[in-house]
Each structure stands twice: as structure tokens, then as C-alpha cells.
Amino acid sequence: MPVHYQLGARSGAEHVVLITLDRPEAKNSCDLEHFHQLTQAWKRFAADDDAWVAIFTGVERCFMSGADLKTYVPEITALAKQIKAGEVDSVNGYSLSDGTNAVLRGTKIYKPIIAAINGPCVAGGMEMLGGVDIRVASEHATFGVLEPARGLFAGGGTTVRLPRQIPYAQAMELLLCADRIDAQRASAMGLLNAVVPEDALLDKAFEFAARITKNAPLAVQATKRSVLEGLKVDMREAYKIEARISQEIFMTEDAKEGPRAFAEKRQPKWSGR
């Protein structure tokens, strides 16, 4: 299967899922089937109570290069015709939204997601990057919003998310010039959390995951939810959202366990309740 889902892929990381895009023959570009599989992997992660953090990566020095231009456009066009003719939402399980859901556009996943970028991160890869929380890259990784150079448009979330995540001028340089940049420049722009040697990439990603999973999962998810929902509204409404989520968390079992463990000078045992 071209998209691998491994829960507990490493010892001591039983709550970490490693999701790997495995299509090196096409430089980890996606056709309709691979976008669908990736969408299903995200749905599985969102629904899996044992999965607290996800790490996404690609195989063989490829991260993700977006849609397979040789196959995806005719496939999605044919699917659209079938859906319209049948007046249905999907055909054989395939949906028109699989492409955008695969790159986390508009999805409500409040569990943390870490990207381990081990090669070209362009087009749909950049759109995916906008939907993750922590970004670790190998030294040879490259980045670019290449769609304008091909007469296309980055419609998977990049034009919305990128100017909200890095300084405006930096975002517009990436969006308008359609240049490739290296990992060091991407880090200087504020796009990345860390740049490491290739053989240390997954170690660094799992290190971030370990730092997250030592915390209470519901509190972590609530924090991400407050951030994402708060970014959609003005600050007055964002404070209301924060207050509501705060009340929810203070009612949980983990909110009792944390202070109790601190008082007893021991590590907390999170129940996720």
C-alpha cells in the first residue's frame, strides 16, 4: 500500500503514528488513489484514541510533490462527471474533496502533526506543510510554491495559510516568484522548526513527538483547537473560544491527575479523559 500507517513504529513511542507516502517512482506525487489513501490515513488518525501525535514523511529522499499532473487532472475530471451524472457525493468511495483533505485543507484534526521533510516539498507538499504543526527538514530538502510557473494555482490552502504563518513579504516571495529554496533559507523565513542531517531526520521528529506526548493529550488537543479556531475570528471572539475550551479541560480527569502527580512528586499517568 503506497500510504503506510504505523502506530508505535518505535519503542517508547506507542502513541505516535508514522504516516509514510511511498510512491518513489512518481517522486511521491499523488494520483486520485493516493490522495484517497492519504485522506483515509488522516481520518484513521483523527479517530484513533491511542494515536496522540502523527509524523508524516515520504520515502527515498522525497517528501511530497503534489498532484501527479500526468494522471490526476483527467482522473478528477472524469470523477466529477460521474458524480454530477449520478447526483452523488462520491463514486466507489472516491470524493472530489480527497485532494484537499489529503493536504489537510479545512480538516478538523486537533491532534498535533509533525512533518519530517526528507526531500522536495513543492506544490501539494507545501500545501500539506501549511496544515502541520511542527516542521523538521533534512539539509537537502527543498521548498517551493511552483504552481504559477506552470500556469496553475495553489488551491489547497497555501495562499490562505502561508501569509498567516510566516511574515507577509516572505510569503509573497514564495507565492509570486515560484522559486525553489533550500532548507536553510526556509528555516530563516520561519517555515521550519529544525534542519538536521538526513540520518537524524526521523530521530528529531520522534524527539518532538516525545516532548508532546509527555503532556496530557486532551490538553494538547484543546490547545491546538483554541489556536486554530481563534485564528478564524477577531480577538474578542477568540478569547471567548479560549475560555470555553479552558472550562472543558478543567473538567477532565487529566486536569485532576496533573496537579495530583505534581504534589506527589511523580510522573502523571494520563487517561485521556
Q: Respond yes or no: is residue 248 known to be catalytic.
A: no
**Helix residue ranges per DSSP H, 20-167:** 32-47, 72-86, 98-102, 124-129, 158-165
Q: Respond yes or no: is residue 127 known to be catalytic.
A: yes
- Range 166-198 burial, b when 16+ CB lie within 10 A, else e: beeebbebbbeebebbebebbbebebbbbbbee
- The residue from 25, 75, 127, 264 that is catalytic is 127
Q: Residue 66: name the closest of 92, 117, 33, 28 by CA.
A: 28
Cell of 161: 495559510
Q: Please state the separation of Cα 260 from the chain's center in Å.
A: 34
Residue with cell 480527569: 253
Beta strand 53-58 with 113-117 is: parallel
Q: Residue 145: name the closest of 160, 125, 165 by CA.
A: 125
- The residue from 147, 229, 242, 253 that is catalytic is 147
CA distances from 187 to 92, 171, 193, 218 (A): 41, 13, 7, 30
Annotated active-site positions, please? 127, 147
